[in-house]
Chain A
Amino acid sequence: MTLHDAWGTPVTVDKAPEAIVSLTLATDEILVELVDPKRLAAIDSFSADPGISNISAFAQTFPNKISGERETILALRPDLVLVADWKERDFIQTLRDAGLRVFVVKAPETFAQLRQAVTALAVLVGEPGRGKDLLDKIDRRLAAIDAKVESIEPTQRLTVLAYSFSGTTLGRGTSFDALVSRAGLINAAGRAGIVGWPSISKEQILQLDPDIIALPSWSYDGKNDANEYRDRFLKDPVFSSLKAVKSKRVVVFSDRHMDSNSQYMVDGVEDLAGTAWPQLFR
């Protein structure tokens, strides 16, 4: 069985792998649903952080948490290594030179990509059945959301704008954008033509005047307090005229869901829809 990874490299699997090293949080979260934990040789160290990981309880008791270090991986002698597509080429080449089977994974940003990733991973680890179960679960929850969203008038669709601790927003092409449209909302940044995650100025925010402002809950260095940031935003005189401030719709969303690139993206959609239309979703 040969699959092509995110870089197009063919990877052949003849036997179900028994010592899997997963180096991204997304693949960690998916694998936990697909395989017996005994088959996991190591998972990414971020999986133990409850602020960003949906499997932190499991990860905290799991012994081998690593952060992509060559020697550690080689010492584990895994038969499958899952790596992000932004990892350095020479890192991956060294592992392949040592005879390890490395499969490069692009973190899913849309639900279509999520389905592809789940399918591919299920095949790789020899659990097509469990993969199908996971996909069914995702589809069912999404169908339920879609049904409720359909009933909302186009003119009543609210706009939402993401605003990070460092003053950037999330535009088209990000997973946030996919979550927003699935939740029946409009991404104010995307509509204004913003792509990716560039900085956004206060003037731009005033100009866009979104119905909902989505703030993050977690930061990489653990230094930012989400609630304190929200308070500052609400007290900022520049923002006092914003719709979202007046109607108390400046919301801290859980990054576990919003930043997810695995099946927990569905929770992100639920969070967004639940905030916009509480009457429909609670």
Chain B
Amino acid sequence: MAATVPLKSQRRRAAALFLGLALALVLVVVFAVGVGSVSVPLTAVVSALAKVFHLWAGEGADPKWEAIILLVRLPRVLGAALIGAALATAGAALQALLRNPMADPGILGVSGGAGLGAVASIGLGFAAQSLWNTPLAALTGALTASAVILGLSFRGGKLSIFTLILAGLAVSAFFAAGTSLVLSLVSRDRVVEFIFWSMGSLAGLRWESIGLVVVPLLLGIAGLFVFGRDLNVLLLGDAEAQSVGLDVPRTRLLVMLLVSVTTAATVCLCGPVGFVGLMVPPMLRLLIGPDNRLLLPASALGGAVFLVSCDVLARVFSATQEVNVGIVTSLVGAPYFLFLLLRSARREELF
């Protein structure tokens, strides 16, 4: 008889994990806000944070420290937490939907579409006119690409996963070619500007940009949480899911839409950041099991912790030149992806 874990202690383990993740998030946020290219005294960090979160009615710290913490670091760190949560939740949902632990929201062609939108905005000079232009153009491109891919993959109400992946590849290639074409026609400055955007960066993230997408992101994340039970049932197989009363095509479509919109909103904020959705959910799945009602919220917390940590690494990597956070997540994520591939090939197990 295999080892059994009584239900009660499973529940206790899940609760402990959530508590641990929440605590880790708070700690890593405070740490991230305290760290930067300029040494800010710890007392200033604490009093600035306390003031912002209305925990303390004191007069706060020296205005120059406050400016650094509240205008440069805090929006960036909270933005990283929000984006990390969104990408991890979207990744977990997508992996359940496709029954494959190697699915990353990037396969939906979102980053290719966003890239074309961004390069059009930068190349045509719209980027210089307003801060909103490039994010909005990226969002439009991302949603267009997703719409095309989903439209191709949903035939007669059924989602063909094979078609989805191939359509994703084809559409991404098309958009990438379009992007290269635009890049070959614009001036060198613009090329550099675009390349910086495309590496995925949280540098200079401002409260206003976050304000633009915070509502869609939170709604997207919450929406995916709501589908937790449905995703569990889907994991039994399409036929089984249909048998217990799940409207499989409709659920697939709705979850895909939520994943696309959530991912598109993150790309518009910071460019494409990969591997968060790929790495965080499988790691948590090992600790918390396959129950998506627990896994999705845990992934949100875990994703936030992960991206904030990657961002700290990106910032302190080099004293003078910041490394884009997308590079850090790729450096960590790509080897992990290869490891997953090898392990699943060897064990013939999907999870």
Q: How many interface residues does chain A have, given as a range? A: 20 to 34
Bound complex: CA A91 to CA B201 (Å): 13
Bound complex: CA A165 to CA B38 (Å): 36
Select the stretch in B67-75, B84-92, B175-183, B224-232 that faces chain A: B67-75
Bound complex: CA A170 to CA B56 (Å): 59
A203 → B minimal CB distance (Å) = 21
Contact status B38-A94, CB under 8 Å: no
**Which of B67, B131, B206 meets A99, CB within 8 Å?**
B67
Contact status A196-B187, CB under 8 Å: yes
Which residues does chain B contribute within 8 Å of A91, judged by CB atoms?
A: 204
Does B189 interact with chain A (Cβ within 8 Å)? yes
Contact status B64-A70, CB under 8 Å: no
Contact status B64-A90, CB under 8 Å: no
Does B100 interact with chain A (Cβ within 8 Å)? no
Which residues does chain B contribute within 8 Å of A77, judged by CB atoms?
A: 63-64
Which residues does chain A contribute within 8 Å of B193, judged by CB atoms?
A: 88
Given known contacts A70-B72, A77-B64, A89-B128, is B204 in contact with A94 (CB within 8 Å)?
yes
A240 → B minimal CB distance (Å) = 31
B189 → A minimal CB distance (Å) = 6
Contact status A93-B72, CB under 8 Å: no
Bound complex: CA A71 to CA B206 (Å): 14
Contact status B206-A72, CB under 8 Å: no
Give chain B's interface secondary structure class: helix
Contact status B189-A97, CB under 8 Å: no
**Which of B38, B73, B131, B209 meets A75, CB within 8 Å?**
B38
Does B37 interact with chain A (Cβ within 8 Å)? yes
Q: Which of B118-162 contact A (CB under 8 A)?
A: 127-128, 130-131
Does B320 interact with chain A (Cβ within 8 Å)? yes
Contact status A94-B128, CB under 8 Å: no
Contact status B206-A94, CB under 8 Å: yes
Which residues does chain B contribute within 8 Å of A89, judged by CB atoms?
A: 127-128, 130-131
Bound complex: CA A257 to CA B64 (Å): 38
Does B216 interact with chain A (Cβ within 8 Å)? no
Scan B11-41; emit 1 where CB is below 8 A from any A CB, else 0.
Answer: 0000000000000000000000000111010
Bound complex: CA A88 to CA B190 (Å): 11
Does A69 interact with chain B (Cβ within 8 Å)? yes
Does A113 interact with chain B (Cβ within 8 Å)? no
Which residues does chain B contribute within 8 Å of A88, judged by CB atoms?
A: 193, 204
Which residues does chain A contribute within 8 Å of B131, judged by CB atoms?
A: 89-90, 93
Contact status B206-A75, CB under 8 Å: no
Q: How many interface residues does chain B have, given as a range? A: 20 to 34
Scan B179-207; emit 1 where CB is below 8 A from any A CB, else 0.
Answer: 00000000111000100000000001110
Contact status B189-A70, CB under 8 Å: no
**Which of B68, B128, B204 meets A74, CB within 8 Å?**
B68
Contact status A97-B204, CB under 8 Å: no
A248 → B minimal CB distance (Å) = 32
Q: Which B-chain residue is minimally distant from A86 (CB atoms)?
A: B189
Q: Which of A173-201 contact B (CB under 8 A)?
A: 196-197
Does A1 interact with chain B (Cβ within 8 Å)? no
B129 → A minimal CB distance (Å) = 9
Given known contacts A70-B204, A71-B36, A71-B38, is B71 in contact with A94 (CB within 8 Å)?
yes
Contact status A75-B64, CB under 8 Å: yes
Does A98 interact with chain B (Cβ within 8 Å)? yes
Does A224 interact with chain B (Cβ within 8 Å)? no
**Which of B36, B128, B187, B320 meets A67, CB within 8 Å?**
B320
Bound complex: CA A280 to CA B206 (Å): 57
Most chain B CB within 10 A, of A72, A86, A93, A98, is at: A98
Contact status A72-B72, CB under 8 Å: no
Which residues does chain A contribute within 8 Å of B187, judged by CB atoms?
A: 196
Contact status A97-B37, CB under 8 Å: no
Q: Which A-chain residue is minimally distant from B209 (CB atoms)?
A: A90
Which residues does chain A contribute within 8 Å of B40, judged by CB atoms?
A: 75
Q: Which B-chain residue is minimally distant from A168 (CB atoms)?
A: B188
Contact status B67-A74, CB under 8 Å: yes
Which residues does chain A contribute within 8 Å of B209, judged by CB atoms?
A: 90
**Which of B37, B63, B204, B205 meets A72, CB within 8 Å?**
B37
* 19 A-B contact pairs sorted by A residue (CB < 8 Å): A69-B37, A69-B320, A70-B72, A70-B204, A71-B37, A71-B72, A71-B73, A72-B38, A74-B67, A74-B71, A74-B72, A75-B40, A88-B193, A90-B204, A93-B131, A94-B72, A94-B204, A98-B67, A196-B187
